[in-house]
């Protein structure tokens, strides 16, 4: 009785590794397809572009103290209709990433906005 339990238990990690490798392969395939389809940011307003440049710099320098200022600029620009709701949402999302300490990811997101404008 004990031998069959050990046999089943020893087979489980192999199956788990197989499932994990399939998941990884599927995720990589999906990521590749998304990058090939060109999913990115659409054309943004001049104000969104300007804020993205500043946000990119703040993220690269990891200047926690400047995040409140950037957040205020985004809010004021959105209130003045210089940003669309989508643009304000994207930019505030980047600010929140940076506030959470995800500086590299936030910087890459800001950079993506800038790069996607060059690709248009």
Pick from 19-23, 64-68, 103-107: least confident: 19-23
The pair of three-digit structure tokens given for residue 116, joined into one six-digit string: 């996607």
Residue of 61, 72, 69 lying closest to 104 (CA atoms): 61
| pTM exceeds 0.85, yes or no | no
Task: Read off the pLDDT of residues 47-65 as tens digits, 9 standing for 90 and up.
Answer: 999 999 999 999 999 999 9
> How do residues 5-39 score in pLDDT, each as one tens digit?
555 555 555 555 545 666 666 655 555 444 444 56
d(CA 104, CA 96): 13
Q: List phi, psi (to 5°) of 119.
A: -80, -10
């Amino acid at each position: 009785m004990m031998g069959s339990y050990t046999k089943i238990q020893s087979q489980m990690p192999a199956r788990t590794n197989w499932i994990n490798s399939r998941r990884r392969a599927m995720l990589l395939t999906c990521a590749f397809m998304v990058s090939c389809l060109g999913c990115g940011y659409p054309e943004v307003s001049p104000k969104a572009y300007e804020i993205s440049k500043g946000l990119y710099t703040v993220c690269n320098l990891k200047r926690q103290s400047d995040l409140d200022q950037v957040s205020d600029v985004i809010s004021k620009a959105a209130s003045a209709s210089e940003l669309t709701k989508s643009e304000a949402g994207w930019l505030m999302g980047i600010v929140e990433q940076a506030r959470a300490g995800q500086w590299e990811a936030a910087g890459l997101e800001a950079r993506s906005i800038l790069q996607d404008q060059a690709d248009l």
